[in-house]
Amino acid sequence: MTTQDQDDGVCLEAWRAGDRAAGQRLFARYYEPVARFFINKVGDKSPDLIQRTFLACVEGMPRFRGEGSFRSYLFAVAYRQLCRHYRDQKGNRVDLDSVSAVALDPSLSGIVVEREEMRLFLAGLRDIPLELQVVLELHYWEDCSVTEIAVALDIPQGTVKSRLRRGREQLRATVERLAARPELAMSTLDGLETWAQQVRARSLRDDA
């Protein structure tokens, strides 16, 4: 268990005991991660989904038994809200395992960035199947472990590893297809960790 997980646990217990300030500290700590989770998938619709996620987190807290980290629980709630949003928009027959964010919303615009490589990186993520995009972003942007992702998405750890592998393969192919120049694709793919770190470092409070 990390130091942050331990501190989350302390805040969570205090919140459950009636300390509203402890709950506010948790939400302040995780606003940015939840905003990042939505912004590259639903664009300007993210503020509503952020609000829904934290509201559902409060409502569902009595059922949270602490089987995983608070962060895993919060991303699980966010993922359910994302699926509900798409199905409300497209109907229950939409296959979220194979369709991409771009296919669900062709007008989608995500995080505003200046670097060409960063724009291509984000566009590539939006153009691969949603199930792969979610896993890659949790892994690269939030530094979530395989165990945390498995808990958040309610899938086996082996499935997480498989999706990470397939996600990297499809992201590479998509970036190469979308790139205006071969050298742009190469510099984008060579710097995946760099672009992920820059996304993580951005403040999204003004963008979301």
Domain residues of the chain, as ranges?
A: 3-201
Residues (pLDDT < 70) of the chain are 1, 66, 109-113, 203-208
Q: For position 7, what pLDDT does the model report?
A: 82
- Is 8 buried (19+), middle (13-18) or exposed (0-12) by CB count in 10 A? buried
* pLDDT at residue number 18: 83
Asked whether the whole model's pTM tops 0.85, one would answer yes
State the CATH class of domain 3-201.
mainly alpha
Give the C-alpha separation, 129 to 127, whole Å. Answer: 7
Give the pLDDT score at 184. 93
pLDDT at 208: 43
Query: What is the model's pLDDT at position 33?
Result: 92
